A = this chain, B = another copy of it.
């Protein structure tokens, strides 16, 4: 505990010419022994950005293939096409010679557009941070992971942990890194996968929802301060569910959208 996110997700290029980066899944970023998806995605995205020579993830898709256990990883990243403004990069995260995450993403430099703007939506309406539910000490399946982040859930969405789900598949909360570590566009890839699953509030017989695929769109570099996050699900059907996320910065701007497809384990 105390390890900064930027260090816990650092990767080093093996050689100047190689398409391989080395990193390490460090302890405490797991949910029940498997490293959090957003954590793994960030680690891979750092290698992808380095391969692209472009700093910001614009859209990144990750397919989760196998558990990420503590220990060394390799990130293989290859530029598929370098364009004028963006580069498209394909990547794999390998653990013990096996792929654990496959990714495809577009990288560029997010500097704020000068084009038309139209926003149909607002940041989630959250009570002040100190009136929200501190989601760390009481999470039995991920005490380490929760203590690495500062997440404050909307009180209306936090009852599931005492066996009182709200009945609405909605989870809203404040998010920041510990010790006010700055949140850049890479850390947004963690923010879109850090809150508890919405289905915990849905009053369905679903105890876990393994993520098949997560796509994050990053719209802007976040302003310093707390992020406001909102995740919702509408369709549990065919053995799958989606989870749509929005992340807003302290300046009230939408900085990321996400959608994941997760499995509904057969009962």
Contacts and interface: CB of A to CB of B under 8 A. Distances in A.
A158 interface: no
A237 B113 contact: yes
Given A81-B65, A88-B65, A90-B90, A204 B118 contact: yes
Contacts of A205: 116
When A and B form their complex, which 10 residue pairs have the shortest distance between CB atoms, in order from nearest? Answer: A113-B239, A219-B238, A118-B236, A104-B104, A61-B61, A120-B234, A116-B204, A115-B264, A80-B102, A59-B213
B92 A63 contact: no
Given A234-B120, A240-B113, A81 B66 contact: yes
Given A80-B99, A116-B206, A104 B237 contact: no
Contact of A116 (B59, B259, B264): B264
A249 to B, nearest CB: 12
Interface string A205-243: 110000011010101100000000000011111111010
A239 B115 contact: yes
B104 A102 contact: yes
**What's the interface size class on A, roughly?**
35 or more
B236 A217 contact: no
Contacts of A104: 61, 63, 90, 102-104
Nearest to A100: B81
Instruction: Give the oligomeric copy count.
Output: 2
A168 B101 CA distance: 38
Interface in A243-267: 253-254, 257, 259, 261, 264-267
Interface in A102-121: 102-104, 106, 110, 112-121
Contact of A213 (B61, B92, B204, B220): B61
A90 B101 CA distance: 12
A2 interface: no
Nearest to A102: B80
A232 to B, nearest CB: 9
Nearest to A114: B266
Contacts of A58: 212, 240, 261
B234 A217 contact: no
Contacts of A220: 237-238
A215 B113 CA distance: 23
Contacts of A238: 110, 112-113, 219-220
A86 interface: yes
Contact of A236 (B116, B202, B239): B116
A131 to B, nearest CB: 28
